[in-house]
Amino acid sequence: MTRATRHPERRGLALRLALFILASTTLIFLAAFGYSHYHSRRLVLKNVRAVAMDRAASVVLQIEIKLRSVEALPRVVSRYLENRTVTDELVLPLMHDMVAGSPELFGGAAAFEPHAFKPDQRFYAPYFFRKGSEEVTFAQLGNETYNYFLWDWYLIPKELNRPVWSEPYFDEGGGGILMTTYSHPFYERSEEGRLFRGVVTADVSLEKLVSDIGAISLYETGYAFLISNRGAFLAHPDQTLIMRESIFSTAEARGLPELRTVGKAMIQGGSGFTAMTCPHTGRRSLLAYAPVTAAGWSVGVVIPEHELFADIRTLNRTILKIAAAGLALLLLVVVAISRSITRPLQHLVGATAEIAKGNLEVQLPVVRTGDEVQVLTRSVDDMRVALKAYIADIAETSRARERIESELKIASAIQMNFLPKRFPPFPDQTTFDLYAALAPAREVGGDLYDFFMLDPGHLFFSVGDVSDKGVPAALFMAVTKTLMKGMAEQGSTPADVLGRVNAELCRNNETAMFVTLVCGILDLATGDLVYSNAGHNPPVLLRAGKRPEFLPLPPGLVLGAAEEAAFETRSIRLFPGDRLLLYTDGVTEAMDVDQQLFSDERLLRETTWMAGETPRQMVERLMAAVQTYAGGTAQSDDITVLALHYKGSH
């Protein structure tokens, strides 16, 4: 049992200490690490947001500058054309110079409403453009196969009544380059209002813009793109997307509804910064977008998240390595400290285990730590010393008790030796038979019996009961018996014997002990019995052939109580076959389990069956009857029975 519990406890303390400290330290570290990670991510995001928004804004600015610088030309020209009589001589040099004088222009046209230039001319749209070189070429737009009235660059500003940048397009005549056209409407103003007459256009190549934007790169694979107000890609690092795919077709093709949402926000002129899945790499990315208000386009700058956080990841890995090393070191320190604490404890545990096994000579470890362990060690040592002293005490006490018990045994043996034990006591006597037994309640009893021959014709017998039990009673009994024998042998009546014994006992009787006693002298030849009583129970007289009866006793005080007590002698004659049964109150006052006394009545009933039995049988029968009656109840008093059978002289 001790072995089973001792082991895990010893291991547990150091382990628990290490576990708790390591776990709490790890928790604290993780919390700090999480916060640091979260915060540095936010910091990076904040910076990236600024960088990306700046980049988008700068691209927007670049486009706006290009577009705004172009817008001025058609505006001025269209204003010039309003309310003027338009002729070839007016328009052609004007348009030529507009294109020739503006290197940023690819071409420009003044397109008129049907029959607005000349009543018989449906189409009139002089167009000057650069074809491959700086040289400006002229063409007249509009014929049955090129009905410019239905083209966006003409139709939309006309219907919207405002200048419009067209949706970019690949110009077939211009060698398939990406272009956009700014169309400014002009009117004939009159009192009734204004009448739409046509548009002045300026074509701009977007090639350089597209390649510039397409070439933008941020971090490793971040990029910029430009979409039209319909969401079509105008500029993108992936050239194959340009004008073919839109942000919405991409969203549909890749199943990215969030991209469609972003696209809608972009073409509605919004600006923002959002996280999304990049449709081209499939990675989570950040998108900054800003509108090109001049044309309704939108610029997006995409930065893959994993690149942004690459530095943080590297830092995190380093921090984690340091933390792992630190925790390992901490583990060693904790183990060392807990060992230094638990080592004396372990020694102490070993020592106490020895003490528990009974070895009080064990040497406790010397602890000079000055802490609770030292106090504990001293306390255990004190306990050990105290235990040792106590055990020595106990040993001494039990030795003393053993001695007393042994002495009591000897006393009992001595007392028993006082009583005549040889039966039949007088083998050559034929006139009577006698048997007696004493069952002491403790080791040493206070009852006594005695019988001896005064002379060859007279038998003296007595049964008595000392008021107490134990060694004092035994000693008092020994004194009484000795006195009785001494007095009886001086030849006298039983009353006289009792008187003299009483006088002796009363003298110096400081213990106030007393004894009841009945004694008698039987004349063996005649059967005459003289007897006297000192406060004792009446013996049972069994006349041959008659019912048992109590022998009437003369009154008499107990011996040793009063010096002047008087005793009386009575006499009856026993006939051959008569029996006499003497006993102490241990018989009649024996109690059963219900605290009921054996009683005189039961004694008489028991003796009824004794006719014809030898004294020995009588004594044993009565002893057995009392024992049966008492059952398991402890014997509280000495029991003494003496049976006498007078056979008579033949």
Partner 1 sequence: MLCIWLWACLLATGAARGDASVSVDFLPQWSPQSQFAGYYVADAKGFYERRGLRVKVVRGGPDRPAGAYLANRRVTFTTLFLTEGIALRDQGVPLVNIGQIVQRSALMLVARKKSGIRNPDDLDGRRVSVWDEFRLQPLAFFRQNHLSVSLVPQGYTPNLFLMGGVDAASAMWYNEYHVILNSGIDADELSTFLLADYGFNFPEDGIYCLEETLDGKPEAVRAFVQGSIEGWRYTFDHPEEALAIVMASVDAANLPTNRVHQRWMLARMGDIICPGGNCDDLGKLNEANYLFVGRQLRGNGIIQAIPDYQEFYDPRHATP
Binding site for partner 1 (CB under 8 A): 144-145, 147, 149-152, 155-156, 159-160, 164, 167, 169-170, 176, 229-232, 243-250, 252-253, 260, 263-264, 267-268, 296
From 524, 531, 596, 529, select the one nearest 567 (Cα to Cα): 531
Alpha-carbon 53 to chain mean position: 55
258, 272 contact by CB (below 8 A): no
Q: Which is nearer to partner 1, 39 or 162 (CB)?
A: 162
From 88, 93, 131, 76, select the one nearest 112 (Cα to Cα): 88
Q: How far is the CB of 315 from partner 1 (least distance, A)?
A: 41
Q: Which is nearer to partner 1, 299 or 559 (CB)?
A: 299
Q: Which is nearer to partner 1, 53 or 265 (CB)?
A: 265
Q: How far is the CB of 280 from partner 1 (least distance, A)?
A: 14
Q: How far is the CB of 88 from partner 1 (least distance, A)?
A: 26
Q: How far is the CB of 249 from partner 1 (least distance, A)?
A: 4
Q: How far is the CB of 331 from partner 1 (least distance, A)?
A: 59
Pairwise CA distance, residues 429 & 382, whole Å:
75
The dihedrals phi and psi of 175, each to the nearest 5 degrees, come to 85, 25
Q: Which is nearer to partner 1, 132 or 176 (CB)?
A: 176
> Which residues on adjacent β-strands are paired with residue 597?
591
229, 296 contact by CB (below 8 A): yes
Q: Which is nearer to partner 1, 38 or 146 (CB)?
A: 146
Pairwise CA distance, residues 69 & 103, whole Å:
11
Q: Which is nearer to partner 1, 200 or 267 (CB)?
A: 267
Q: Which is nearer to partner 1, 104 or 159 (CB)?
A: 159
Pairwise CA distance, residues 516 & 410, whole Å:
25
Q: Is 306 exposed, middle or buried (0-12, 13-18, 19+ CB in 10 A)?
A: middle
Q: Which two tokens stand for residue 3?
A: 């072995």
Q: Which is nearer to partner 1, 267 or 574 (CB)?
A: 267
Who contacts 179 (Cβ-Cβ below 8 Å, separation ≥6)? 106, 168, 169, 170, 171, 203, 204, 205, 206
Q: Which two tokens stand for residue 649?
A: 């002289």
Pairwise CA distance, residues 16 & 628, whole Å:
68
Q: How far is the CB of 251 from partner 1 (least distance, A)?
A: 9
Q: Which is nearer to partner 1, 259 or 641 (CB)?
A: 259
Q: How far is the CB of 289 from partner 1 (least distance, A)?
A: 13
Q: Which two tokens stand for residue 301?
A: 């700058």
Q: How far is the CB of 176 from partner 1 (least distance, A)?
A: 8
Who contacts 319 (Cβ-Cβ below 8 Å, separation ≥6)? 33, 36
Q: How far is the CB of 186 from partner 1 (least distance, A)?
A: 18
Q: How far is the CB of 60 from partner 1 (least distance, A)?
A: 19
Q: Which is nearer to partner 1, 167 or 443 (CB)?
A: 167
SS3 label, residue 610: coil
Q: Which is nearer to partner 1, 159 or 382 (CB)?
A: 159
216, 189 contact by CB (below 8 A): no
| Positions of E strands within 496-568 | 515-523, 528-534, 540-542, 549-550
Pairwise CA distance, residues 472 & 469, whole Å:
7
Which residue type is seen at 232? A
Q: Which is nearer to partner 1, 241 or 518 (CB)?
A: 241
Q: What does each C-alpha distance from 186 to 105, 302, 317 come to in angstroms?
A: 20, 40, 66
Q: How far is the CB of 160 from partner 1 (least distance, A)?
A: 5
Q: How far is the CB of 266 from partner 1 (least distance, A)?
A: 8
Which residue type is seen at 513? M
Who contacts 617 (Cβ-Cβ below 8 Å, separation ≥6)? 610
DSSP state, 134?
S
Q: How far is the CB of 110 from partner 1 (least distance, A)?
A: 19
Alpha-carbon 37 to chain mean position: 34
Q: Which is nearer to partner 1, 155 or 591 (CB)?
A: 155
Who contacts 570 (Cβ-Cβ below 8 Å, separation ≥6)? 530, 531, 532, 552, 553, 554
